[in-house]
């Protein structure tokens, strides 16, 4: 298999100027071990450079901006202004304090130009496994940090570390409503019973922690186990509507003992103590449970290999997981090796397809970082609009089980129509460097696929048929 094809199977593909002569094995190893610089384009159509440091925000900076935005909105609410004035000022407040648009541009630039393409594919998998989506305006400012730090930044560690980091991140805690998970016997609940405020338990995160993130229903846990996990999670997460201290340093370790259920808790026959240390004990126990590697080995195989995954593939991934105690680089090496050796047939996610279409054709779609607040054009180049139209958006309001890995869920008239429209847009407006024939040569299209593409009446139709062919959409 050529390196170009390997890059599409495991990553996002090479841009015309980014090919390399190393072997697939050496390239894969470099992808797992090297440190990569984030790319960025200042303005549309200009040369690719690096993403500015001042557009990368720490969690503390995000919390400060979030706090200041809430204060500005509160001040505006107290002012007696007409609706038009309020709407204009609200737009100004969002433009001044919000960072999620910068996050989306950063994400898009990395996908279109980044050299870390395998690491990005791994990040996409784990970000979809530990699904977080938009929840009103409470967590949208934290989603970029969640992807960059809690997921991408944890690829070199253990599953147990990623599990704990994802579970306790403010984006996850707010997305699954754990910031309102209050112990029924907590001091806060007792005060609410006296004063009339509302407080109660919420098991959303506890349920997904066991059902989707670790052991799966095959473990045979009970509602009592979920209740015990929910009790351990009480007190975790900043309750946005409350008057508790709002300190940035507390945000990723936001545990309020006054809201936590007191006493010991039991989950799957294991007893856990009161206090914040119990959550790490719980996530470590779930990570080490034999059902977790079984569940995730199948899921990794389904994502990277697809329907062609064999029992031997799954067992090889499982053995790597168990033998390394869930060391992610060790597991990932086996996953990638097995995926590289598997026959084609894995249907690409819409977002992965789009990045590959841009990279393999050498096209440019997204606005640059200096154009984040650019006015809309007839041809939209804003990542938020593009991902929304594509039907695949990590910033969207989505279900906790994430996007499907089943081929049939993406092969529909609606999704095909979207790909056709994007392929046509890329050809007409995005200045692809490679011709259709060059793309087919680079990707080694067979005679039947070439014949299908050549049915196009002109270059635009041939380009659309090429990018929407089975050969391009499956790896």
In a shared domain, residues 172 and 280: yes
For the chain, the domain total comes to 2
Contact (Cβ atoms closer than 8 angstroms) between residue 234 and residue 186: yes
257 domain residue, yes or no: yes
The rounded percent of the chain whose pLDDT value lies above 70 is 97
Higher-confidence position of 95 and 447: 447
pLDDT at residue 248, as a whole number? 65
**pLDDT value at residue 374:** 77
**Is 208 among the domain residues?**
yes
Q: Which of 288, 313, 337 is the last residue of a domain?
A: 288
Alpha-carbon span 439 to 8, nearest angstrom: 13
Q: What mean pLDDT, rounded, does the chain reach? A: 93
The predicted pLDDT at position 80 comes to 86
pLDDT of residue 403: 95
Q: Are 239 and 183 in contact (CB under 8 A)?
A: no
Average pLDDT over residues 122-144: 93
> Which domain covers residue 66, as residue numbers?
60-97
- Both 171 and 76 in one domain: the answer is no
Residue 188 has pLDDT above 80, yes or no: yes
Residues 91 and 198 in one domain: no
pLDDT per residue as tens digits for the range 299-345:
999 999 998 999 999 999 999 999 999 999 999 999 999 999 999 98
Domain boundary (288, 306, 328) is at 288
249 in any annotated domain: yes
Look at residue 196 in the predicted model and tell me its pLDDT.
81
Q: Which of 97, 121, 151 is the last residue of a domain?
A: 97
Calculate what percentage of the chain has a pLDDT beyond 90. 82
Q: Residue 39 gets which letter from DSSP? A: E
d(CA 44, CA 431): 11
What is the model's pLDDT at position 373? 82
pLDDT at 285 over 80: yes
pLDDT value at 216 more than 80: yes
Average pLDDT for residues 30-39, to the nearest whole number?
Answer: 95
Same domain flag for 90 and 177: no
Please name the residue that has the structure tokens 């503390």. 60
Q: Which two tokens stand for residue 448?
A: 């039947």
For residue 143, how many other CB atoms are within 10 A of its CB? 25
Q: What is the pLDDT of residues 64-116, one digit of tens each?
A: 898 899 889 989 999 989 999 999 999 999 889 999 999 999 999 999 999 99
**What is the predicted pLDDT for the residue at 376?**
64
Reported as a single tens digit per residue, the pLDDT across 461-474 is 999 999 999 999 99
Q: Provide the pLDDT for residue 246.
A: 67
User: CA geometry: angle at 22 spanning 433 and 431, to 5°?
Assistant: 10
Same domain, 69 and 175: no
CB-CB neighbours of 322 under 10 Å: 15
User: Would you tell me how many other CB atoms lie within 10 Å of the CB of residue 52?
Assistant: 14
Give the pLDDT score at 172. 96
What is the Cα 191 distance to its own chain's centre? 39
Q: Tell whether the model's pLDDT for residue 381 goes beyond 90.
A: no
Alpha-carbon span 416 to 419, nearest angstrom:
5
pTM exceeds 0.85: yes
In a domain, 434, yes or no: no
**Residue 79 within a domain:** yes
150: in domain: no
Residue 377 pLDDT > 80: no
Residue 138 has a pLDDT of 76
* Domain-located, residue 251: yes
- CA 5 remoteness from chain centre: 24
Domain match, 284 and 171 both: yes
Query: Are 279 and 189 found together in one domain?
Result: yes
The per-residue pLDDT for 401 is 94
Q: Is residue 418 part of a domain?
A: no
HEC-encoded secondary structure of 56-87: CCCHHHHHHHHHHHHHHHHHHHHCCCCHHHHH
Confidence of residue 430 (pLDDT cuts 50, 70, 90): very high
């Amino acid at each position: 298999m050529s390196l170009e094809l390997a890059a599409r199977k495991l990553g996002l593909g090479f841009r015309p100027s980014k090919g390399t002569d190393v072997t697939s094995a050496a390239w894969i190893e470099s992808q797992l071990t090297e440190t990569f610089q984030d790319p960025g384009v200042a303005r549309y159509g200009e040369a690719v450079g690096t993403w500015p440091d001042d557009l990368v925000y720490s969690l503390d900076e995000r919390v400060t901006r979030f706090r200041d935005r809430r204060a500005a909105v509160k001040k505006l609410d107290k002012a007696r202004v007409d609706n038009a004035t309020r709407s204009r000022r609200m737009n100004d407040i969002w433009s001044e304090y919000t960072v999620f648009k910068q996050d989306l541009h950063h994400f898009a630039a990395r996908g279109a130009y980044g050299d870390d393409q395998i690491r990005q594919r791994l990040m996409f998998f784990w970000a979809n496994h530990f699904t977080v989506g938009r929840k009103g305006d409470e967590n949208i400012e934290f989603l970029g940090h969640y992807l960059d730090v809690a997921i991408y930044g944890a690829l070199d560690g253990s599953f147990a570390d990623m599990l704990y980091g994802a579970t306790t991140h403010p984006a996850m805690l707010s997305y699954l409503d754990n910031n309102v998970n209050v112990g029924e016997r907590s001091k806060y609940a007792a005060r609410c019973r006296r004063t009339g405020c509302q407080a109660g338990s919420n098991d959303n995160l506890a349920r997904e922690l066991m059902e989707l993130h670790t052991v799966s229903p095959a473990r045979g846990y009970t509602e009592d186990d979920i209740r015990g996990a929910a009790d351990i999670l009480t007190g975790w997460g900043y309750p946005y509507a409350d008057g508790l201290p709002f300190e940035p340093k507390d945000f990723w370790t936001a545990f309020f003992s006054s809201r936590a259920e007191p006493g010991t808790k039991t989950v799957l026959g294991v007893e856990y103590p009161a206090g914040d240390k119990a959550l790490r004990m719980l996530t470590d126990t779930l990570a080490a449970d034999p059902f977790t590697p079984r569940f995730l080995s199948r899921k990794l195989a389904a994502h990277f290999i697809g329907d062609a995954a064999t029992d031997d593939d799954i067992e090889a991934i499982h053995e790597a997981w168990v033998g390394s105690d869930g060391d992610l680089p060790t597991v990932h090496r086996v996953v990638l090796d097995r995926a590289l050796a598997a026959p084609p047939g894995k249907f690409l996610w819409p977002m992965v397809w789009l990045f590959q279409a841009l990279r393999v054709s050498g096209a440019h779609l997204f606005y640059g970082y200096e154009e984040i607040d650019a006015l809309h054009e007839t041809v939209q180049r804003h990542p938020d609009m593009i991902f929304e139209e594509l039907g695949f958006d990590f910033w969207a309001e989505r279900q906790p089980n994430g996007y499907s890995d089943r081929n049939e869920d993406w092969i529909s008239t609606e999704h095909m129509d979207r790909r056709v429209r994007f392929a046509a847009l890329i050809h007409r407006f995005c200045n692809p460097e490679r011709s259709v024939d060059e793309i087919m040569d680079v990707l080694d299209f067979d005679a039947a696929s070439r014949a299908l593409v050549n049915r196009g009446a002109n270059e635009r139709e041939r380009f659309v048929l090429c990018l929407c062919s089975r050969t391009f959409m499956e790896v």
